[in-house]
């Protein structure tokens, strides 16, 4: 397993050989071998995504690695302790390798092509305020529980923070010409 950490593989075959070498001559359990394979795949994925571009060759390598190491799309989403789907999508976009969608549910303009569609929340910034101030004067008790106050009050509203809150839920569609948020019908 230490060999897996020290070497710097450069091809898919190097990663596979590395896993085989780590497993050879040891009595690894199936889960230990699977962990070695997942670590090798994750290192390869980090190497591919380092430049934030996914070339056609790297995309082919990634597909082959997913098949070789039995990695599913769900594994890419959360199986490695972080979401790799978004970085892969960004790298594909940076390289100009997005696949057109067959059906987007959006009326497209002439020459427009839909590439991505995701469930999304439309966020709005909410400002949190509080009133700060005071008063001056005197209070005179008229009867129990009833007071007469003579004087003045002053103060102003102060921003104490902001937060992002979901204003609406729907689908975000990215096309060759625009990004469109379509709110969900309830």
* Tens digits of residue pLDDT in 127-182: 999 988 887 888 888 998 888 888 887 888 899 999 999 999 999 998 989 999 99
Measured CA to CA, the distance from residue 47 to residue 9 in angstroms comes to: 10
Average pLDDT for 78-106 = 81
Measured CA to CA, the distance from residue 136 to residue 104 in angstroms comes to: 64
| Local confidence band at 4 (pLDDT 50, 70, 90 cut-offs) | very low
pLDDT, one tens digit per residue, over 175-184 is 989 999 999 8
pTM over 0.85: no
pLDDT, one tens digit per residue, over 60-75 is 888 888 888 788 877 7
| Phi–psi pair at 2, nearest 5 degrees | -65, -30
Asked whether the beta carbons of 57 and 49 are under 8 A apart, the reply is no
pLDDT at 5: 41
Asked whether the beta carbons of 141 and 155 are under 8 A apart, the reply is no
Domain ranges of the chain: 2-95, 114-183
Instruction: Compare 2 and 52 and report the one with higher pLDDT.
Output: 52
Asked whether the beta carbons of 180 and 149 are under 8 A apart, the reply is no
Which of 8, 30, 28 shows the shortest CA–CA distance to 18? 8
CA angle 103, 184, 166 (to 5 degrees): 125
């Amino acid at each position: 397993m230490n060999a897996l950490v020290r070497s710097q593989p450069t091809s898919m075959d190097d990663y596979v050989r590395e896993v085989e070498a780590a497993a050879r001559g040891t009595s690894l359990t199936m889960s230990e071998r699977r962990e070695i394979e997942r670590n090798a795949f994750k290192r390869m994925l980090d190497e591919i995504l380092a430049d934030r571009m996914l070339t056609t060759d790297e995309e082919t390598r990634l597909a082959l690695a997913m098949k070789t190491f039995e990695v599913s799309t769900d594994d890419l989403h959360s199986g490695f302790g972080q979401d790799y789907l978004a970085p892969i999508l960004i790298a594909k976009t940076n390289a100009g390798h997005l696949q057109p969608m067959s059906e987007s549910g959006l009326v497209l303009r002439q020459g427009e092509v839909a590439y991505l569609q995701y469930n999304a929340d439309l966020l709005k910034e909410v400002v949190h305020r509080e009133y700060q101030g005071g008063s001056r004067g005197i209070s005179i008790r008229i009867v129990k529980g009833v007071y007469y106050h003579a004087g003045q009050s002053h103060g102003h509203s102060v921003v104490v923070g902001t937060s992002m809150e979901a204003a609406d839920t729907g689908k975000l569609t990215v096309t060759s010409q625009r990004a469109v948020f379509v709110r969900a019908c309830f």
